[in-house]
Copies of this chain bind each other. A is one copy, B any other.
Amino acid sequence: MADEVKLFGVWGSPFSRRVEIALKLKGVNYEFFEEDLSNKSALLLKYNPIYKKVPTLVHNGKAIAESQIILEYIDETWKNSPILPKDPYERAQARFWARFIDEKLMPTLWKVFWGCEDHDKVKEEAKEHLETLENELKDKKFFGGETVGLVDIVGNFIAYWVPRIQEASGLVLLTEEKYPKLYQWSHEFENHGDVKVKLPPNDKLLAYIKSRLEGVSTSK
């Protein structure tokens, strides 16, 4: 029986795009279901009753939720083009940095760009986190070494969304001068063959971000 792979996602969501990138790297064909988050489909609610969130992957009728858990599932199910390293210690490190991005860096950047109290303090925090990630990249092309791995995929927001949010908002943190390695990595990542075709189109994303930022400033 051929694999039946369905992905419930949203085109502009970095979390959904993580899963699309991983499936593309593995060469897995899938059917994509674009969700309207203000009116979620009955199928999404059925497959992800606890969180009711995208991305949700359904493989041969079995549903998996939470993007990082989905990425590990994909890596364990389709063994070619590994996303995680083999060595347990290196795996733990990859998981650590993936969590760091989700739990520290992304929430802080979110607050910086979408507004918060203590804006100056949060901006300093975001810079510190970017510095930490910059140091972790060392002299590698990708966090995964020569190939795109878990941390790169989870970091898609930093690599692709942040430069466009910076362009739309005029608020610039991630520069070539301050974070030369991250900046170069961001470029390598978005131009990687399998990644490139699974990122949202530049103009569409930029327009979307601008409309979201206008929404924020209008509602202030």
Contacts and interface: CB of A to CB of B under 8 A. Distances in A.
Interface of A: 50, 59, 62, 64-66, 69-70, 72-73, 76-77, 88-89, 91-92, 95-96, 99-100, 132
Contacts of A77: 88
Nearest to A78: B88
Contacts of A70: 92
A92 B70 CA distance: 7
A133 B26 CA distance: 33
Contacts of A64: 89, 92, 96
B99 A73 contact: no
B50 A132 contact: yes
Interface of A is mostly: helix
26 contacts: A50-B100, A50-B132, A59-B89, A62-B89, A64-B89, A64-B92, A64-B96, A65-B96, A66-B95, A66-B96, A66-B99, A69-B92, A69-B95, A69-B96, A69-B99, A70-B92, A72-B91, A72-B92, A72-B95, A73-B88, A73-B89, A73-B91, A73-B92, A76-B88, A76-B91, A77-B88
A161 to B, nearest CB: 22
A53 to B, nearest CB: 12
Contacts of A72: 91-92, 95
3 tightest A-B CB contacts, nearest first: A76-B88, A73-B92, A64-B92
